[in-house]
């Protein structure tokens, strides 16, 4: 198989899996998503890497992702330094900017993707890699397998950001994906630009 047709086949496999996973998560009730989010959050709070990390990046969850509100609250009450993504809609560039409190989060504008994030002209916030780097990144995604492969939404924001982290003095932070158990796959199709994650937290019963 030529390299081009192999890439096209991989893209098609990812698209098919994305559709399937979106369907699986859409079938979950709000109550079930809340229940699993609570279990995943509790697992995270006990996790040695979370406990020992000071500078942590976390995503502000959308309706089809593990809810991170309790995690944000826990981070602020534990005195951890919190960073959240600011995605650039016209490229695949993302920065991790400092978030100071739950009140700060509630005041953030909402993007066209219906995600809260700091405004483009908000230049006062600390960017994680411009200062001390990150100890831990909590990763979103559509699907994961137990080998650390992750299926994102196709823009490559996190893979590119992790590449930037690797060039930082501190090196690559530990990465933990937060998932509903319905997002676990036998095998996620990946290519060389996809960076492995260290661990996936989900309700494993």
Residues in the annotated binding site for ATP: 14-18, 150-158
The answer to whether 94 and 157 are in contact (CB under 8 A) is yes
The answer to whether 57 and 143 are in contact (CB under 8 A) is no
CA distances, 128 to each of 60, 76, 193 (Å): 16, 16, 22
CA distances, 201 to each of 41, 59, 79, 147 (Å): 9, 15, 23, 13
User: What end-to-end distance do the CA atoms of the chain give, in Å?
Assistant: 40
The annotation places the binding site at 14-18, 60, 65, 150-158
Structure tokens at 137: 């990144």
The annotation places the binding site for substrate at 60, 65
């Amino acid at each position: 198989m030529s390299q081009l047709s192999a890439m096209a086949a991989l893209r098609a496999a990812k698209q098919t899996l994305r559709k399937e996973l979106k369907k699986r998560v859409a079938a979950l009730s709000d109550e079930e998503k809340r229940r699993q989010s609570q279990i995943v959050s509790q697992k995270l709070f006990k996790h040695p890497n979370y406990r020992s990390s000071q500078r942590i990046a976390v995503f502000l969850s959308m309706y089809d992702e593990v809810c991170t509100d309790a995690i944000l609250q826990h981070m602020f009450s534990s005195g951890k330094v919190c960073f959240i993504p600011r995605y650039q809609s016209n490229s695949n560039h993302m920065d991790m900017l400092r978030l100071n409190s739950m009140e700060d989060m509630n005041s953030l504008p909402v993007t066209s993707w219906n995600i809260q994030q700091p405004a483009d002209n908000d230049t006062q916030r600390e960017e994680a890699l411009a200062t001390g780097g990150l100890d831990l990144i909590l990763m979103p995604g559509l699907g994961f397998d137990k080998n650390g492969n992750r299926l994102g939404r196709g823009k490559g924001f996190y893979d590119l950001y992790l590449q930037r982290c690797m060039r930082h003095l501190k090196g690559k932070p530990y990465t933990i994906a937060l998932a509903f158990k319905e997002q676990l796959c036998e095998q996620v199709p990946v290519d060389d630009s996809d960076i492995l994650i260290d661990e996936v937290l989900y309700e494993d019963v």
